[in-house]
Amino acid sequence: MIHTRNLKWSDLRYIFFPKGFERYGYLGTQIWNEESVYFEALYPLVLALDYEAKPKWCPRWFLRFLHVFGNDKSIVRVRNRRLSNLLSKLTKGIGFWDWKTKWCDYDLRISISGTEHMHNLARWIEQGYYNEGYRAKLMRDIAMYEPDPDAKIIFSDIKHLEEQLEKLESRRK
């Protein structure tokens, strides 16, 4: 027996009166906190996915309708195969599968289905987010060795910061 979730009044609100980021829910996006740093990192990608996936003539409420009644508001469940296939056909199979952090809070992983340039954008966001987070971590580590606010922490590339941290660690030993 196949189990689907029960529909609620909030599903109708989601379809016709979405709040903020719910507007792009038909893509499978799930970002709970719109004030988070992850939202800031992923928002440009979601806008690009929406631009490519949404047909010009099709309103978003209809795509959200298909997402609720076709895919059961999920990326894995299917409530109605025909509606699910119609959503997939209208959006050209473009969707946002998942995002997560791995190992540390700045190691962002993004899974999407889309064109090559969308995957390139996702890879660029992952790499840029990682570099920015790793650079900030290195600067915090360097600041632990040099607590003086006038210390010369040079904001540069990651390799230079790693070398600077190694010098400070070797000096301490």
Which pLDDT does position 126 carry in this prediction? 87
pLDDT < 50: residue spans in the chain: none
Q: In this structure, how many other beta carbons lie within 10 angstroms of the beta carbon of residue 117?
A: 10
- Give the pLDDT confidence of 57-79 residue by residue, as tens digits: 999 999 999 999 988 888 888 88
Among 110, 114, 140, residue whose Cα is nearest residue 127 = 110
Which pLDDT does position 36 carry in this prediction? 79
CA 125 to mean position of chain CA atoms: 9
**95: buried, middle or exposed (CB in 10 Å: 19+, 13-18, 0-12)?**
buried
Which pLDDT does position 98 carry in this prediction? 85
95, 48 in Cβ contact below 8 A? no
Which pLDDT does position 3 carry in this prediction? 62
- Give the pLDDT confidence of 131-156 residue by residue, as tens digits: 888 778 877 787 777 666 665 655 66
Single pTM value for the model: 0.76
